[in-house]
Amino acid sequence: MNLVGETLLWLADPLHWTGPDGIPTRLAQHVGLTVVVIAIASAIALPIGAWMGHTRRGEVTIATLVNGSRALPTLGLVTLFALWLGIGVRAPIIALVILAVPSIVAATYSGISSASRPAVEAARALGHTSWQTLSRIEAPLAMPTIGGGLQSALLQVVATATIAAYVADVGLGRYIFAGLKSRDYPEMLAGSVLVILLALVVTAAAAGVGRLYRRLTNPERTPE
Amino acid sequence: MKTPTRTLGIVSTVAGLALLAGCASGDPLESGASGEQETIVVGSQDYYSNEIIAEIYAQALESAGYEVQRDFRIGQREAYLPEIEAGRIDLFPEYTGPLLLVWEPDTAGGTAEEIYDALVEAAPDGLRVLDQSDASDQDSYVVTRDFAEQYGVTTIADLASVPVPITLGGNSEGENRPIGPAGLKSTYGVDVAFTPIEDGGGPLTVKALLDNQVQLAVIYTASPSMASADLVALEDPDGFMLASHVVPIASDKLDDTAAALIDKISAAMSAADLVALNTESVETQAPAATIATAWLASHADDLQ
């Protein structure tokens, strides 16, 4: 039988859908890990990006950060942090946060700093404080860009969270590592397919949230 | 003005296509083999001590007058074994037990000699299994010295009487292998949990042991970790872990003189040698060729 058929059989096997090594458990771990990582990364990246965008400082820093981070091998980071913190889920979380932060910072910076100048100046003229300008004018105008940054960070993290299985009994990456090392290619391919499907679902969901946001906020805006 | 440029363009395109065609039809692993003596292709895993052994083979063959081509660091067994079976690699340092597991997945295990005999039996046509070496690099169950002393553990069977829960750390493929948690339970009645650490008994595994995040780990006997850290390999009275002696796999291209030379190397290499080679590779970061030359020089008498 060919590999595709065997992969489908593997996915259809009810044994693979139950227990601590079952697909629902692994999927839940994978999603849980992604949510934790995005939450931590947002808590770090949104204030930094917003402050930089508002004050228009650090453009060079951002370019360096974003470009440099593309060259960082996440698996290397996992190993590095695991040597410091030990095995378990902490090292992958830190490595994935480092993966996610730059794109959120960059999107937030670019969204806030490119908020309509007349609108910002009008707000200042009306006596808005710096914080009020940021929170009432710049942030809402920047939302679509920030959303895009979050979406790309989310996609990166969902796809890369497989490496958590390098040092922890967590996530869909377990199927990929175990299948690769034991020449069980249907298992490996099934793990990959599940990650791809999850990434597609997550992207679609994020796009849906974006549309919903636009629909909810559009009526309040004046037509262009 | 344009014509010469265009001609040049066409010529270079044609030449490029011809080159491409050459690449496509010629097997990149097949040597030129124009002379009466064929080049011997020596391969190795992407694993430091395996590469050193392959380099020792290659240098010994070269000094005996053979043409040698090195295809080192091909990767893991999944990647290179098909190449050996197809006859594109002529000499490869392998390990008895793990290789037997590929050719005979249901193998029951046994002594080193039984494994070797079964391997010779299982080898596909066109491949020869040369003599196995005394040197071995096999999986072993390892605990910290503190753990061994606290609970009086010296053999794998002793783990059954340890009152605290035990977690086994190792590469994820170990979870479902006969030597994994299921085998521990059925052979020795030991219950363990499993956590994957995908660095093959490297520094992450050692750290997890020393931090007591795992109590039991799978580490190769010839790993430098075993020499440097406070670790103890558990005895394995029932031959539970498959014996894994260095064994060269050769194609028909290797003539009897060359095979005899490789057999001498296998006979000369001791288990302690392998640990020393590994340790030197890790600690000095010297290239495989340098370490191989040094080993050959110190064993010149055995290879006459």
Domain B40-136+243-303 architecture: 3-Layer(aba) Sandwich (3.40)
Chain B positions in Cβ-Cβ contact with residue A165 (cut-off 8 Å): 172, 196, 198
Mean pLDDT score, B61-70? 93
Domain for residue A121, yes or no?
Answer: yes
Label residue B168 by pLDDT band (50, 70, 90). very high
Domain for residue A44, yes or no?
Answer: yes
> What are B93-117's pLDDT values in tens digits?
999 988 998 898 887 777 888 899 9
Decide: A176 and B196 in contact? Cβ < 8 Å: no
Tell me, what's the pLDDT at A217? 80
Whole-angstrom distance, CA of residue B217 vs CA of residue A87: 13
Chain A positions in Cβ-Cβ contact with residue B175 (cut-off 8 Å): 178
pLDDT at B2 over 60: no
pLDDT at B14 over 80: no
Domain B139-233 architecture: 3-Layer(aba) Sandwich (3.40)
Mean pLDDT score, B10-27? 48
pLDDT at B1 over 50: no
Phi, psi of B107, deg, nearest 5: -60, 140
Q: What domain range includes position A169? A: 3-219
Cross-chain Cβ contact B176/A166 below 8 Å: no
What is the predicted ipTM? 0.71
Chain A positions in Cβ-Cβ contact with residue B176 (cut-off 8 Å): 178, 182
Domain for residue A101, yes or no?
Answer: yes
Chain B positions in Cβ-Cβ contact with residue A166 (cut-off 8 Å): 196-199
Would you call B177 an interface residue with chain A, using a CB distance cutoff of 8 Å? yes
User: Pick from B176, B195, B204: which is nearest to A83 by CB?
Assistant: B204
Here the CATH number for the domain that contains residue A40 is 1.10.3720.10
Counted domains in chain A: 1
Domain for residue A184, yes or no?
Answer: yes
Cross-chain Cβ contact B203/A83 below 8 Å: yes
Residue written as token pair 């010994």: B60
Give kind and range of the element (H or E) at residue B102: helix B96-103
CA dihedral B165, B168, B169, B171 (to 10 degrees): -150
User: Pick from A79, A169, A183: which is nearest to B196 by CB?
Assistant: A169
| Residue pLDDT tens, chain A, 224 long | 688 888 888 888 888 888 788 899 999 999 999 999 999 999 999 999 999 988 888 888 888 888 888 788 888 899 899 989 888 899 999 999 999 999 999 999 999 998 888 998 899 899 999 899 898 889 988 998 999 999 999 999 999 999 999 888 889 999 998 888 777 888 899 999 999 999 999 999 998 998 888 888 876 555 44
Q: Please give the residue of chain A at the shortest CA–CA distance from B199.
A: A166
Domain for residue A224, yes or no?
Answer: no
Domain for residue A198, yes or no?
Answer: yes
Would you call B172 an interface residue with chain A, using a CB distance cutoff of 8 Å? yes
Closest CA to B49 of B302, B293, B276, B301: B276
Closest CA to B174 of B133, B134, B142: B142
Q: Please give the residue of chain A at the shortest CA–CA distance from B78.
A: A183
Label residue B182 by pLDDT band (50, 70, 90). confident
Chain A positions in Cβ-Cβ contact with residue B197 (cut-off 8 Å): 87, 166-167
Q: Where are the domains of chain B?
A: 40-136+243-303, 139-233
- Report field, pTM of the whole predicted structure over 0.90: no
